[in-house]
Amino acid sequence: MNATNDYPVILEHMSKAFRVDGRLVSALEDVSLQARAQEFVTLIGPSGCGKSTLLNIICGLLEPDEGTIILHGERNAPRLGRVGYMPQRDLLLPWKRVLDNILLGPQIMGRDLAEARREALDLLPLFGLEGFENHYPATLSGGMRQRAALMRTFMCHHDIVLLDEPFGALDALTRRTMRRWLLDVWARFRQTILFVTHDVEEALFLSDRIYVFSPRPGRIILEMALDLPADRRERQAAAPEFVAYRQRLLQALGLEEG
Ligand SMILES: Nc1ncnc2c1ncn2[C@@H]1O[C@H](COP(=O)(O)OP(=O)(O)O)[C@@H](O)[C@H]1O
Ligand SMILES: [Mg+2]
């Protein structure tokens, strides 16, 4: 028996097409996937394969044409506002200071603002934003802006969180620091995470499980549960399992070297 409650997110046979200039363009085809409670699940695939569309469907901004979404065991339940979501663009409001941007999340959730503010001040150091709470987004580095947007997302305390290429626009060095940092944050909040990336190393470092998507229309062409140390710092690139997982990923994505 496979109790659906062990899987806060289950998608069954989901398809989605968009009408573009009168033609129907298929974005996702027959996608089924699941995420366990407190699992870090990564969706990886080429640009345009429907990853953002998938997250938009899970959080309730879009409806699928076909298929079922089961959240916490509930079929086709209302989803808007029940899932934490950080869209691909960080969407910090340029005219609001960092702290006010962060408090937008809890504000929209209808949380007690004085309490949310106390929590935010308490969390600023973990997010590397201490001393920057009164700055405007434009004066922050790219990494800091992403951490502010992530903090806004985490402060909503949803137990399912969708992150759409949160480090996609950052330089390689910052990305490496940010992925290690994200694990510290996750250790504190422990949600079920669905994480979108097109970075193979990032996926291997962060994930418990990886789904690889084909080019558009996005279909799942590989599901890979990683039997690697839970402590990500021990996921040495030299470990034979790690190398084998990387090869399978690169092969599935058509990026094989040599
Ligand atoms: N609102 C929309 N209207 C029409 N086409 C869309 C819309 N949103 C996405 N698409 C198309 O669907 C496909 C998947 O897009 P997207 O989910 O953004 O891919 P990814 O995030 O994997 O890069 C692309 O071909 C994109 O152009
Ligand atoms: Mg996208």
Minimal-distance CA residue to ligand 1 atom 20? 48
Vertex 172: Cα angle to 169 and 178 (nearest 5): 75
Q: Which of 154, 168, 162 is nearest to 199 (CA)?
A: 168
Mean pLDDT of the residues in the chain? 92
Cβ 53 under 6 angstroms from ligand 1: yes
User: Which tens digit of pLDDT belongs to each residue from 19-59?
Assistant: 999 999 999 999 999 999 999 999 999 999 999 999 999 99
Report the pLDDT value the prediction gives residue 230, as an integer from 0 to 100. 82
Report the pLDDT value the prediction gives residue 232, as an integer from 0 to 100. 84
Contact 79, 60 (CB under 8 A): yes
Q: Positive or negative CA dihedral for 159, 156, 167, 180? A: negative
Report the pLDDT value the prediction gives residue 98, as an integer from 0 to 100. 96
Relative to the alpha carbon of 216, which ligand is closest? 1
Report the pLDDT value the prediction gives residue 91, as an integer from 0 to 100. 80
DSSP strand pairing (66-71 vs 9-20): antiparallel
Section 176-203 average pLDDT:
93
Minimal-distance CA residue to ligand 1 atom 27? 48
Judged against a pLDDT cut of 80, whether residue 90 lies above it is answered with: no
Report the pLDDT value the prediction gives residue 235, as an integer from 0 to 100. 83
User: Which tens digit of pLDDT belongs to each residue from 64-88?
Assistant: 999 999 999 999 888 988 999 999 8
Cβ 192 under 6 angstroms from ligand 1: no
DSSP strand pairing (66-71 vs 74-75): antiparallel
Cβ 48 under 6 angstroms from ligand 1: yes
Cβ 61 under 6 angstroms from ligand 1: no
User: Which tens digit of pLDDT belongs to each residue from 209-230?
Assistant: 999 999 999 999 999 999 888 8
Burial (CB count <10 Å: 0-12, 13-18, 19+), residue 16 = buried
Report the pLDDT value the prediction gives residue 1, as an integer from 0 to 100. 42
